[in-house]
Chains A and B, each alone.
Chain A
Amino acid sequence: MDLPTTDVIQGTLDLLILKTLSLEPMHGYGIARRIEQISRGVFKVNPGSLLTALQRLERAGWVDAEWRQTENARRAKVYALTRAGRKQLAAETEDWARRAGAVARLLNAEA
């Protein structure tokens, strides 16, 4: 029944995080779950990689992190996209589309 899950494609984790956060601020686990859900389970997110990536994005100034009370009265670190992050998302999206298009063209030409 299950299609095999796979690690996120090398280099696209940042893009996926930024895209996910562009919908709404979220904590780490939420981001991981959202990515898995939307990719319909194709991508499995490694927690260590995700937290490292979030630390990197935060330091780059693309996301802000804030401790907040959640609905079940727990404290969670919630990440939100910054203006710079939004720009970065646009740039990376365009870049990805260009590359994916190129790969698709190559595959079609082969076939």
Chain B
Amino acid sequence: MSPPMSPVSLWRQLSRGVRVLFRRADADQELDAEVEHWVNQAAADLEAGGLSPAEARRRARVALGGTLSAREEVREHGWERVIHGAAADLTYAARRLRKDAAFTSLAVVTLALGIGAATAIFSTVNPVLFERLPYPHPERLVTISELGRSGAALEVTYGTFRELAQRAHAFASLAVLKTWQPTLGGRDVPERLDAQRVSAGYFRTLGVAPLLGRDFTANDDRPHGPDVAILGHALWQRLGADRGIVGRTVTLDDTPYTVIGVMPERFENLLAPSAEAWAPLQYGESFAPNTREWGHHLRMLGRVRPGIDPAAAAEELATIARTPLAELPRVPWADLSGGMVVTSLRDEVTQGVRPALLAVAAAVLLLLAIAGVNVTNLLLARGAQRQGEFAMRAALGAGRGRLVRQLLTESLLLAVLGGALGLVVAELGVRALVALSPAGLPRLDAIRVDTAVLLFAFGLSAVIGIAVGLVPALQASTPGLRAGVERTSRRSSGDYRRTRGSLVVAEVALALVLLVSAGLLFRSLTRLLAVDTGFDDGPLVTMQLQVTGHRYDADSVRYGFLEQSLEAVRGVPGVVAAAYTSQLPLSDDLDIYGVHLEQEGDPANDGAALRYAVTPGYFSAMGIPLRAGRLLDEHDRTGSPRSVVVSESFARSAFPRGDAIGQRLRFGDPEGDWYTIVGVVGDVRQTALGLTTASAVYVTPTQWHWVDRQMSLVVRGRGEPASLAPAVRAAIWSVDKDQPVVRVATMRELVEASVTDRRFALTVFEAFGVAALLLAAIGLYGILSVSVTERTREIGVRSALGASSRDILTLVLRQGMVLTAVGVAVGLVLAWAASRSLAALLFELPALDPVTYASVVVLLLGVAALACSGPAWRAARLDPAVTLRAE
């Protein structure tokens, strides 16, 4: 009906409204003057009609319905009226809250804890679980792996990549990548970089382009192609941030690489977050079976074509896997007979931490609920005390809606104050969470208090403000209570008490859920850390060495360096034993090769095993016990018969009759030389404490097919192992000062680091559990205190009638403990349901572990009894004469 608002009218709306808001007196005065003028004019007209001046004036006023009424009518219009009303509510609310400082601070702190914790957790969980991955159309990005015969996912071979790149049409592009740890030369201290070797289409598949320079092309990624590299933004900054770097060279592993590009700062490389440089793979085209082109060591990334369902793309890959083409031959260990697995990039990146994060998110919701319930309870108790005030306002004409609005304004104000303080809590919490964060938590850099988090905190405060205020507001404004004007504080209605009672029950129940979860996690972690790692993690320090430089290109020279440096390390005072290994337990190293058993020649005997290339002395340095046969020693070297030592579980599964010693196997090369099993050693937990060990095969570096460039040094010392590290490093550098030494850690630290996801969840649950327990205790204490105050008269009557103070004590205690017991009963059911979703984080512990449940119930009952005893004592010591006189 009315035309769209013109700029003029919009301006007038705003300016006039603002003027009324801020210069109310002026506006009123003007309105009064106008009304007055009206009365004068009307009176003048009436006088002209023959009335006396006084009568004319009276009639004019009556015609106007009283000046007050006309003025009020005008004042009731315009948008500013709404704001004015809200501002009045707000002022009143602020005054009420200031008057009741104890209540207000308790409520604000409680809300700040709840909102702050929820906000901190949200900022941690949001980038990982909810935000889109930082690439265009991230839903089309998938990772592709092969399924091995055992049903475990395998990394793909370059041969498979070549075949899929030619045959799979569902993908806009495919790329393969592997980690690479070159040494950055030409600087004072050799620095080992985390980097990636990638096929030419890697960045195009992700959908990102370099900030400077160009992307890789097919011409870069061919055998003996040019040595070119793209640098990460942080590395470029460290190198001087010169925009002219493109075209210059950097030295990686003793080889000059021409810089062709620099990635933008905001580029997040989710598949290898720490990678700072990229170079093309440059794999060969011959595809002979014994080349690296057929090694299972590449990760494959794919971008599904627009309009094609990822499930359909997976279907196409399955079809390709089933139908080999003669012109694209496969090798037996990569014949794709097990099929392919397609995983969305999001799942690939987050699946490791998802259970812990979901559990933590659920925990914080519980804590928030408890905080909210607590504040609701406080508001209800206060509402009971303020009945007189509400009744008075109602009598003065405030409608029910007006009262509800007033009370909601108060609770909203409380929540906003709580939210503001909560942001401080959140900021601290985020720092603590990042410090605690489980290894492998993706997008760590994206975790911070940002706009999304601020919006979350604000929205949450608003929701909480309404949620905690609604029940108290509705109850306080119930018409039945209007009669309260003449009623004094004698007692509150039964409604109040029932509502508050059920809220305390809810608090106890929720606290129990949190405590049971924390207890289960604690008991799991204790059990996990008690697991036998298979080695003696006493005074062991470890570090990783990267043998770099062209002078070490020959295997024999490389091994010479290993021997010399071991010699030097053994000479360090305090060193008891030292050895090198190609992979270190619990360090994220994972190196698996195919095993072919001679016995029976059945392909079913073919399997895979962890490969450890270790210098003799590794077993004694690590404290790995010998079970049968002998250990590897100095005689197992180039030229002598090839010997291996296998793990107990390998021996058991491959040779159930217990005759492993003397058997022969091929390892890493299906056509290679036979190795003889000379010994069996105890199992070692390689990947995680909670995972039963896969089969393992140990071989000396000189009897393996090559001498690894990357070796971990384990040093057993006397006393504090960490203090040995500088001397050990110096000993290595005394042999060659250009070799980077990284990843220095004691074995105990590695063990501890392998449980960080559980430790993370446990710490959060413990903190929340304690907070929940405190809040529940405060809630219980609060309701009983109020109840004792309300029942002062009743208690006085009882004492006067002969009840002993012991009876009174029991009376109040029973009231509190009945509520607690109901809460515990409800909580047990909830905990039973909740603990099953924790199963992924538990270790060898039933979700219904009776010890946990029993101890939590005892703890809760104890704390509840403590919380009840205060008010109970107070009640028991009431003097009946005083209380009765008070009425």
A binds B: yes
What is A's interface to B at a CB cutoff of 8 Å?
Answer: 27-30, 32-33, 46-49, 51-52, 55-56, 58-61, 74-77, 84, 88, 91
0/1 string, B1-26, CB within 8 A of A gives 1: 01101101100110011000000000
Q: Is the CB of B78 within 8 A of A49?
A: no
- B73, A52: Cβ atoms closer than 8 Å: yes
Q: Is the CB of A51 within 8 A of B70?
A: yes
Flag the segment in B37-45, B320-328, B676-684 that touches A.
Answer: B37-45
Q: Bound complex: CA of A103 vs CA of B8, how far in Å?
A: 35
Across the interface, do B78 and A58 meet the contact criterion of CB distance under 8 Å?
Answer: no
Q: A52-B74, A55-B16, A76-B37 are in contact. List 8 more A-B contacts (CB 8 A).
A: A29-B41, A48-B73, A52-B73, A52-B77, A59-B78, A60-B12, A61-B12, A91-B3
User: Which residues from A are CB-within-8-Å of B42?
Assistant: 29
Minimum C-beta distance from B14 to chain A (A): 9
User: Nearest Cβ in chain B — how far from A33, in angstroms?
Assistant: 7
A30, A33, A48, A60: the one contacting B9 at CB < 8 Å is: A60
Instruction: Name which of B61-69, B523-531, B578-586, B741-749 contacts chain A.
Output: B61-69
A77–B65 contact, CB under 8 A? no
B65/A47 in contact, CB under 8 A: yes
Q: Say yes or no: is B439 at the interface (Cβ < 8 Å to chain A).
A: no
- Is B362 engaged at the interface, CB distance under 8 Å to the other chain? no
Residues of chain B from 38 to 54 with CB closer than 8 A to chain A in the complex: 38, 40-42, 45
A30's nearest neighbour on chain B, judged by CB, is B41
Q: How far is the CA of A58 from the CA of B74 in the complex (A)?
A: 13
Residues of B within 8 A of A (CB): 2-3, 5-6, 8-9, 12-13, 16-17, 30-31, 33-35, 37-38, 40-42, 45, 63-65, 69-70, 72-74, 76-78
Name the B residues within 8 Å of A58 (CB-CB): 12, 16
Given contacts A29-B38, A58-B16, A59-B13, contact A51 B6 (CB under 8 A): no
Give CA–CA (A35, B6) in the complex, Å: 28
- The answer to whether A55 touches B35, judged by C-beta atoms less than 8 angstroms apart, is no
12 contacts between A and B (CB under 8 A): A33-B45, A47-B38, A47-B70, A48-B65, A48-B70, A49-B73, A51-B70, A51-B74, A60-B2, A61-B9, A61-B12, A77-B33
Q: Which residue of A lies closest to B44 (CB)?
A: A72
From known contacts A58-B12, A60-B12, infer whether A47 and B63 are also in contact, taking CB-CB under 8 Å: yes
A54 to chain B, nearest CB (A): 9
Q: A55 vs B37: C-alpha distance in the bound complex, in angstroms? A: 16
Query: Given A47-B70, A51-B74, A52-B74, A28–B38 Cβ distance below 8 Å?
Result: yes
Interface-central residue, A51, A59, A61, A76, by most chain B CB under 10 Å = A59
- For residue A76, which residues in chain B have a CB less than 8 angstroms away from its CB? 34, 37
In the assembly, what is the distance between CA of A31 and CA of B665, in Å? 111
Whole-angstrom CA separation of A32 from B41 in the bound complex: 11
In the docked arrangement, what's the CA distance between A48 and B65, Å?
A: 9
Return chain A residues, CB-CB under 8 Å to B65. 46-48
User: How many angstroms from the CA of A29 to the CA of B34 in the assembled complex?
Assistant: 9
Contact, CB under 8 Å: A75 / B37: yes
Query: For A32, what are the chain B residues with a Cβ–Cβ distance below 8 Å?
Result: 38
Distance in angstroms from A32 CB to nearest chain B CB is 8
Contact A56 B77 (CB under 8 A): yes
Chain A residues positioned under 8 Å from B8 (CB to CB): 61, 84
Closest to A83 in B: B8
Q: How far is the CA of A81 from the CA of B30 in the complex (A)?
A: 20
- A55 near B41 with CB under 8 A, answer no
Q: Which residues of B contact A91 (CB under 8 A)?
A: 3
CB pair B64 A47 closer than 8 Å: yes
A interface majority secondary structure: helix
Collect the chain A residues with CB atoms within 8 Å of residue B30's CB. Answer: 77
Give A52 to B3 CA distance when docked, in angstroms. 19
Contact partners of B41 in chain A: CB under 8 A? 27, 29-30
Chain A residues within 8 Å of B6, by CB:
61, 84
Chain B contacts for A84, CB-based, 8 A: 6, 8-9
Q: How far is the CB of B77 from chain A (nearest CB, A)?
A: 5
Q: Distance in Å from the Cβ of B577 to the closest Cβ of chain A?
A: 90
Q: How far is the CB of A2 from chain B (nearest CB, A)?
A: 15
Contact partners of B9 in chain A: CB under 8 A: 59-61, 84
A60 to B3, CA, bound (A): 10
Q: Whole-angstrom distance from the CB of A39 to the nearest CB of chain B?
A: 17
In the assembled complex, the CB of B162 is this many whole angstroms from the nearest CB of chain A, namely 73
The CA of A75 and the CA of B303, in the complex, are separated in Å by 78
Provided the pairs A29-B42, A59-B78 are in contact, do residues A51 and B13 lie with their beta carbons within 8 angstroms?
no
Q: Which residue of A has the minimal Cβ distance to B13?
A: A59
State A91–B1 Cα separation when bound (angstroms): 11
Query: Which of B2, B12, B69 is A48 in contact with, Cβ under 8 Å?
Result: B69
CB distance from B700 to the nearest CB of A (A): 92
Q: Are B12 and A59 in contact (CB under 8 A)?
A: yes
Tell me the complex Cα distance, A88–B34, Å.
Answer: 25
Which of chain A's residues have a CB closer than 8 A to the CB of B5? 60
Chain B residues, Cβ within 8 Å of A46: 65
Nearest-neighbor residue (CB-CB) of B5 within chain A? A60
Residues of A within 8 A of B16 (CB): 55, 58-59
C-alpha gap A33/B44 in the complex (Å):
13
Q: Which residues of B contact A28 (CB under 8 A)?
A: 34, 37-38
Distance of A46 Cα from B8 Cα, bound (Å): 28
Give the CA-CA distance A69 to B2 in the complex, in Å: 33
Chain B residues with CB below 8 A from A52, complex form: 73-74, 76-77
- Residues of A within 8 Å of B64, CB to CB, are 47
Q: Which residues of B contact A29 (CB under 8 A)?
A: 37-38, 41-42
B74 touches A55 (CB 8 A): yes
Q: How far is the CA of A99 from the CA of B63 in the complex (A)?
A: 32
B76 to chain A: which residues have CB within 8 Å? 52
The answer to whether B74 and A48 have CB atoms under 8 Å apart is yes
For residue A36, give the distance in angstroms from its CB to the closest CB of chain B.
Answer: 11
Question: How far, in whole Å, are A19 and B481 apart by their CA atoms in the complex?
Answer: 53
A88 → chain B closest CB, angstroms: 8
Quick check: A74 and B73 within 8 Å, CB to CB? no
Known: A47-B64, A84-B8. A27 touches B77 (CB 8 A): no
A28 and B41 alpha carbons, distance in the complex (Å): 10
Tell me, rounded to whole Å, the shortest Cβ–Cβ distance linking B225 to chain A: 72
4 interchain residue pairs of minimum CB distance: A48-B73, A61-B9, A29-B41, A61-B8
CB distance from A105 to the nearest CB of B (A): 22
- Which residue of chain B has the shortest Cβ distance to A14 in the bound complex? B2
Closest residue of chain A to B15 (Cβ to Cβ) is: A59
A77–B34 Cα gap in the complex (Å)? Answer: 6
**Which residues of A are found within 8 Å of B69, using beta-carbon distances?**
48
- Asked if B37 contacts A51 (CB within 8 A), the reply is no
How far does the Cβ of B684 sit from chain A's closest Cβ, in whole Å?
82
> Complex: how many Å from CA A74 to CA B12?
27
* Whole-angstrom distance between the Cβ of A11 and the nearest chain B Cβ: 8
A92 and B561 CA atoms in complex are apart in Å by 98
Query: Is the beta-carbon distance between B37 and A27 smaller than 8 angstroms?
Result: yes
Query: B77 near A74 (CB under 8 angstroms)?
Result: no
Closest chain A CB from B585 CB (angstroms):
78
Chain A contacts of B78 at CB under 8 A? 55, 59
CA distance in complex: A51, B17 (Å): 16
A99 CA / B74 CA spacing, docked (Å): 29
A84–B35 CA distance with the chains assembled, in angstroms: 27
Q: With A and B bound together, what is the CA distance between A70 and B74 in angstroms?
A: 24
User: Measured between C-beta atoms, what is the minimum distance from B65 to chain A in Å?
Assistant: 7
Q: How far is the CB of A40 from chain B (nearest CB, A)?
A: 17
How many angstroms between the C-alpha atoms of A87 and B564 in the bound complex?
A: 99
Alpha-carbon separation in the docked complex, A77 to B42 (Å): 15
Cα A48 to Cα B41 in complex, Å, equals 16
